[in-house]
Structure 1
Amino acid sequence: MAEQLHGQPLLRVTGLRKAFGAVQATNNVNIDVRAGEIHALIGPNGAGKSTLISQICGEQMPDSGSIFLDGRDVTSSAAFARARLGLGRSFQITELCADFTALENVVLSVMLRKGRPFGCWGNPRHDEALVAEARTQLAHVGLSSREQVAVADLAHGEKRQLELAVALARRPRLLLLDEPMAGMGAEESASMTRLLRSMKGYYGILLVEHDMDAVFALADRISVLVYGRTIFTGTPDEVRRHPEVRAAYLGEDHALQPALAATTPGEVHAHT
């Protein structure tokens, strides 16, 4: 793990800018994600987090700057091309096939990865290899007992778990998780935190999240985005103590709490 964390980053974003009229949504953003780490991205509403994620995924093209996936320049690449290079993601609002079962949703994701045409969909039980792989991913996220339940009948937290299984079925190396705890209660958030902790070391993860307890429990590094700028990147303890971060986002009470989990030491980069 130590070698992975200090090697070439899976994701490297440099000088990224995106404006909508007079609004500078991302303003010279620099961020990277190393293999096996969880790098959290935090900031107040309107900071530009969703715009940054959209640019990394290829849904929006930046005005300037560069995006590298595993050393390859993908700044102008389409979203599907980035997915083929090992980029997976989840969304703020769950995007699943509501009329399909949990198992069918994951089977569909496996089919997409394999380039299987939709015309041969049929009953997923007819293809033992597809079903076996889908069941492995459902077990990974703790949904083995819910495989035959329609998405519409799953609890909110279960839908978020299923979305992770769908993403993992594409066999990504890098995951972009956009507020995976959104709308969850305390018990569901704790369950998702345990699940993401179990994934640490197997995937590079860029985590966008407002649940600060989860962020500080999970992240190896945290970048703080304010008004489209990354104002600071460091370990959780370093972020807690940084005066500009405390003033802009965390507040005194949260910043002075003890760290929730051990973190990996690393360089601190200030962007002022």
Structure 2
Amino acid sequence: MLEVRGLRKAFGAVKATDGVDLALAEGAIHALIGPNGAGKSTLIAQLCGELRPDAGSIVLDGEDVTRLPAFARARKGLSRSFQITELCPDYTALENVVLSLMLTSGRAFQAWSNPRRDSGLVGGARRWLAEVGLGDRGDAHVRDLAHGEKRQLELAVALARSPRLLLLDEPMAGMGSEESSRMTTLLLGLKRRYTILLVEHDMDAVFALADRLTVLVYGKTIFTGTPDEVRAHPEVRSAYLGEQAC
């Protein structure tokens, strides 16, 4: 579904991504892990079209999208969540998902209609809220949701775009153990239905979810393998996992 070849991005003398290669099989959850400053956020920004790489290519389902802007990649089925939640705080949870559905269908600028009265949009939004465990929270304003609920809502907003590839940038960030467990269970329910690139520091969640992992250190991919192979790899243990891999 996704193939990245030789991706490079430098900021002055700092090589944020330095010849990154990455391949995601359709329907798999592929985790991208590494210490802070490894280049994970820069890589995600390049995959989404927010940053143009200095070199290399990004191929989505056989099509080279390296030079396409972010909105064009979204139209081709790439959807994402963010490290810091990006939602409309003065809207309800339902309205946030309705907005996502409107953007997907190209109806966002039909100002003469009231989307809150559109049974198709509202019904679709309620189904996505139920999908992520927020079926009873549709009328709550985003500002009144708990942190974990906001992360669930952001996932609903992303899923409402019917993505072919879903990029999840630290979906457990800021969560307690109970919230992280709930999100892990939710993502397990999406497995095989979506192709997912997961960036996450919660190693319990990563090893529970991922089919394969790529380890990024100082902008370079140092290893890609199964969870068991990553746990056992001496360079990965030394660079990132340490004793938590035991």
TM-score tier after normalising by the smaller chain length: over 0.9
In structure 1, the partner of 2:62 is 71
In structure 1, the partner of 2:180 is 189
In structure 2, the partner of 1:19 is 10
Paired letter, 1:102: A
Give 1:34 deviation, angstroms. 1.2
In structure 2, the partner of 1:211 is 202
In structure 2, the partner of 1:4 is none
Structure 1 counterpart of 2:245, from 238, 255, 260: 255
Structure 1 counterpart of 2:72, from 70, 81, 84: 81
**Contact 2:31 2:210 (8 Å CA) reproduced:** yes
Give 1:120 deviation, angstroms. 2.4
Which sections of structure 1, spanning at least 5 residues, go unmatched? Answer: 1-9, 257-272
In 2, Cα distance between the equivalents of 1:117 and 1:14? Answer: 35
In structure 2, the partner of 1:228 is 219
In structure 2, the partner of 1:138 is 129
In 1, Cα distance between the equivalents of 2:99 and 2:175? Answer: 26
Q: Which deviations, in whole Å up to 9, do the C-alpha atoms of 1:13-41 show, x marking residues without a partner?
A: 00000000000000000001111110000
In 1, Cα distance between the equivalents of 2:116 and 2:104? Answer: 18
Q: State the TM-score, normalizing by the size of structure 1.
A: 0.89
> Does structure 1 residue 199 correspond to structure 2 residue 229?
no
In 2, Cα distance between the equivalents of 1:186 and 1:207? Answer: 18
In 2, Cα distance between the equivalents of 1:214 and 1:23? Answer: 30
Paired letter, 2:211: D
In 1, Cα distance between the equivalents of 2:90 and 2:112? Answer: 15
Paired letter, 2:203: M
Give 1:119 deviation, angstroms. 4.7
Structure 2 counterpart of 1:104, from 95, 99, 118: 95
SS of residue in 2 equivalent to 1:47: coil
Paired letter, 2:193: Y
In 1, Cα distance between the equivalents of 2:70 and 2:172? Answer: 24
Structure 1 counterpart of 2:117, from 93, 115, 126: 126
Which sections of structure 2, spanning at least 5 residues, go unmatched? Answer: none
Higher relative contact order (CA 8 A, sep 6+): 2
Structure 1 counterpart of 2:49, from 50, 55, 58: 58
Runs ≥4 in structure 1, deviation > 2 angstroms? 117-125
Paired letter, 1:127: D
SS of residue in 2 equivalent to 1:66: strand
CA gap of 1:219–1:121, structure 2 versus 1, over 3 A, is farther
In 2, Cα distance between the equivalents of 1:74 and 1:121? Answer: 35
In 2, Cα distance between the equivalents of 1:77 and 1:111? Answer: 22
**Contact 2:93 2:139 (8 Å CA) reproduced:** yes
Give 1:124 deviation, angstroms. 3.3
In structure 2, the partner of 1:3 is none
Structure 2 counterpart of 1:35, from 26, 31, 35: 26
In 1, Cα distance between the equivalents of 2:172 and 2:26? Answer: 23
Q: How well do the aligned residues superpose, as a CA RMSD in angstroms?
A: 1.0
**Contact 2:99 2:108 (8 Å CA) reproduced:** no
* Percent identity between the two aligned chains: 72
Give 1:66 deviation, angstroms. 0.2
Give 1:178 deviation, angstroms. 0.2
Paired letter, 1:255: A
Deviation larger for 48-57 or 114-123: 114-123
In structure 2, the partner of 1:7 is none
Give 1:255 deviation, angstroms. 1.8
Matched ranges for 1:156-167 at <5 A: 156-167=147-158
Q: State the TM-score, normalizing by the size of structure 2.
A: 0.98
SS of residue in 2 equivalent to 1:144: coil
In 2, Cα distance between the equivalents of 1:61 and 1:198? Answer: 33
